[in-house]
Amino acid sequence: MLELRPNCECCDKDLPPDSAEAMICTFECTFCADCVADGLGGACPNCGGDLVRRPVRPAAMLAKHPASTKRVLKAEGCAPVKAA
C-alpha cells in the first residue's frame, strides 16, 4: 500500500493525500509537479526512475488506511540524475 508521503523531497511543499501535484517513483520517492518539471526532468534524483502522478486514495479508504505523516527532505537539495 502506498505511504502517501506528505511533502516534496526537494522543496518541502505540502502534498496532501488528495493532491494532483504529487509525483512518485516506484520506490515512492515523492516530489511536487513543479520540481519534477523545473529541475528533475521527469526522473527521480534518488533512483533515476520515472516520476508519475501519485494516485489519490478514496476518502473512505483514507479513513481506514491514513496517509503517512513522516516528512522526507533531501538536505542537499535536488539535482537531476546524470546519465551514466
On whether the pTM is more than 0.75, the answer is yes
**Alpha carbon 38 to chain centroid, angstroms:** 15
Residue-wise pLDDT tens digits, 16-68: 999 999 999 999 999 999 999 998 999 999 999 999 999 999 999 999 999 99
Cell numbers at 7, concatenated: 511533502
User: Do β-strands 52-53 and 22-24 pair in parallel, antiparallel, or remain unpaired?
Assistant: antiparallel
Give the architecture (CATH level 2) of 1-64: 2-Layer Sandwich (3.30)
User: Taking the domains of the chain in order of start, what are their residue ranges?
Assistant: 1-64
pLDDT category of residue 82 using cuts at 50, 70 and 90? low
